[in-house]
């Protein structure tokens, strides 16, 4: 045995430890106590009866102990279930705490605005276009193309974004109220090499249908980055293309300025756009114009004649002039030459009056012009408008009625030379260049 104070070993019946002097326990009583404890632990066994070859039944003491063991196992199983359920509740609560805000945030207007901003910065125009709520079946949206977004991105200054943040990102339980159908999200950003902080505003509209029947579905409102009723003024009869898309004639009206036409574009993305104006006989006008907002007015009526057209009009002005003089000398009616002029009634009446005056001046009671030779003609044309000016040199032959002081009157032949300055204006109608005025004047006649 060993001393419980210092651990020294001792033998037999000793009262005190020889090493530390600690009082030792009574060894006999300890042994008796150990025996009693062991005895108590041994199960009580009843004598087994072998009468009638029957097996002995367990003693009542053994039978009474069995229910106690079963009750312990049952209590332990219930406690395990409770612990499992408690753990599940904690895990579920954590999922709700962390996942629900994340899920709601993914369907928020702020998240959609961030998607739009990132796609725009990365020039992912397919993704940008998919975020708009554009009705592609509506005819008036024919110019809301992906190419137009490129021009808008450049005009917005999103060229080299370094970092960004979404402002006013409210908690999920406070945002996207049921009565809020439009929302404005402001994104702050900085460009590389620029210390200034810029802002980019995204306008969103809530769709009427829910996403997965639960979440609000937001789309980018393209109206905020588009302009409506943009007018393009061009020369009458000209055709217009914007970003290689031809504007239908149903959007064409008569211009406020005479000789002009106006195309009114229903809606188009703001920013720079390539515009082409074409008309037969004129050089195609190609410009890059910036659309800034609603009701913008763009004038592209300063078209120029092509070189071939200018030369053809100079020649046509001379030929038409000769035809008019010849008809007047021959006494022909205006109907013979009217096809070289514009055909609206007012213009024709005015030109016919000029023709009749010319014909009467060449052949009247005092003189008869028999021939006009055009010796030369110098023509000029302004390529910005179909107007030909010409200086015509001529020799004219005529008879005049001579009344002498004495004797009988008589007709005498004479001729003289001269020059005329004539202005002739043309208009392109149904594939032909037609004159808008007579293009002639009465030559001076001097009798010698």
| Strand 226-235 relative to strand 260-269, pairing | antiparallel
Topology match between the domains 109-220 and 307-435: yes
Q: Specify whether domain 109-220 bears CATH 3.10.450.
A: yes
Mean pLDDT, rounded, for 243-261? 86
Distance CA 384, CA 178 (A): 60
Region 144-164 average pLDDT = 82
Percent of the chain with pLDDT over 70: 79
- What pLDDT, on the 0 to 100 scale, is given for residue 40? 47
Contact (Cβ atoms closer than 8 angstroms) between residue 379 and residue 314: yes
Q: In this model, does residue 64 exceed pLDDT 80?
A: no
pLDDT at res. 106: 65
CA distance 435 to 360: 22
d(CA 20, CA 10): 12
**Is pLDDT of 31 > 50?**
no
Residues present in the chain in total: 448
d(CA 128, CA 116): 6
User: H helices of 178-263, where?
Assistant: none
Backbone angles phi and psi of 378, in degrees to 5: -105, 120
pLDDT at 97 over 70: no
pLDDT for the residue 21 = 67
The CATH class for the domain spanning 230-299 reads mainly beta
- DSSP character for 22? P
In contact, 325 and 440? CB cutoff 8 Å: yes
pLDDT given for residue 377 in this prediction: 93
Which residue is associated with the tokens 């007018």? 231
Per residue in 362-391, pLDDT (tens digit) is 988 888 999 999 999 999 998 888 899 999
Q: Residue 70 — pLDDT band, cuts 50, 70, 90? A: low
254-258, 300-304, 351-355, 421-425: least confident range: 254-258
Domain limits, the chain: 1-39, 75-106, 109-220, 230-299, 307-435
Cα(330)–Cα(321) distance, integer angstroms: 14
pLDDT tens digits along 286-340: 999 999 999 999 999 888 898 999 999 999 999 999 999 999 999 999 999 999 9
Instruction: Identify the three-state secondary structure at position 93.
Output: helix
In tens, the pLDDT along 216-229 reads 888 888 887 899 99
Domain 307-435 carries which CATH code?
A: 3.10.450
Asked whether the predicted pLDDT for residue 401 surpasses 70, the reply is: yes
| Joined tokens for residue 20 | 């530390």
């Amino acid at each position: 045995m060993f001393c419980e104070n210092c651990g020294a070993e001792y033998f037999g019946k000793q009262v005190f430890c020889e090493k530390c002097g600690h009082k030792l326990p009574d060894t006999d009583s300890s042994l008796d106590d150990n025996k009693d404890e062991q005895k108590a632990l041994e199960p009580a066994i009843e004598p087994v009866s072998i009468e009638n070859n029957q097996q002995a039944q367990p003693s009542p003491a053994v039978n009474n102990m069995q229910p106690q063991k079963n009750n312990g196992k049952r209590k332990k199983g219930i406690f395990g279930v409770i612990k499992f359920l408690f753990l599940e509740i904690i895990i579920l609560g954590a999922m709700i705490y962390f996942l629900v805000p994340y899920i709601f945030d993914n369907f928020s207007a702020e998240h959609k605005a961030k998607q739009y901003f990132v796609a725009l910065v990365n020039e992912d125009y397919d993704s940008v276009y998919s975020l708009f709520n554009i009705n592609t079946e509506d005819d008036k949206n024919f110019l809301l193309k992906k190419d137009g977004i490129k021009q808008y991105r450049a005009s917005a200054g999103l060229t080299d974004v370094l970092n960004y943040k979404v402002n006013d990102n409210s908690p999920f339980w406070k945002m996207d109220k049921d009565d809020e159908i439009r929302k404005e999200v402001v994104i702050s950003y900085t460009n590389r090499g620029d210390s200034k902080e810029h802002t980019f505003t995204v306008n969103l509209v809530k769709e009427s249908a829910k996403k997965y029947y639960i979440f609000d579905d937001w789309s980018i409102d393209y109206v905020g980055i588009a302009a409506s009723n943009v007018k393009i003024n061009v020369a009458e009869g000209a055709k217009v293309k914007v970003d290689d898309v031809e504007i239908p004639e149903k959007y064409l009206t008569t211009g406020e300025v005479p000789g002009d036409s106006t195309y009114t574009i229903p809606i188009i993305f703001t920013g720079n756009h390539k515009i082409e104006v074409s008309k037969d006989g004129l050089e195609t006008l190609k410009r890059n114009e910036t659309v800034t907002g609603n009701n913008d007015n763009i004038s592209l009526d300063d078209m120029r004649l092509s070189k071939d057209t200018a030369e053809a009009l100079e020649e046509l002005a001379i030929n038409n002039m000769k035809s008019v003089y010849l008809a007047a000398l021959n006494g022909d009616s205006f109907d013979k030459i009217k096809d070289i002029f514009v055909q609206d009634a007012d213009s024709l009446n005015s030109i016919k009056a000029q023709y009749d005056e010319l014909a009467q001046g060449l052949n009247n009671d005092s003189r008869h012009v028999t021939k006009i030779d055009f010796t030369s003609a110098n023509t000029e044309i302004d390529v910005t408008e179909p107007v030909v000016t010409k200086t015509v040199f001529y020799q004219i032959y005529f008879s005049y009625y001579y009344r002498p002081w004495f004797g009988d009157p008589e007709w005498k032949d004479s001729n003289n030379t001269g020059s005329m300055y004539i202005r002739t204006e043309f208009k392109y109608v149904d594939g032909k260049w037609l004159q808008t005025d007579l293009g002639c004047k009465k030559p001076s006649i001097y009798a010698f």
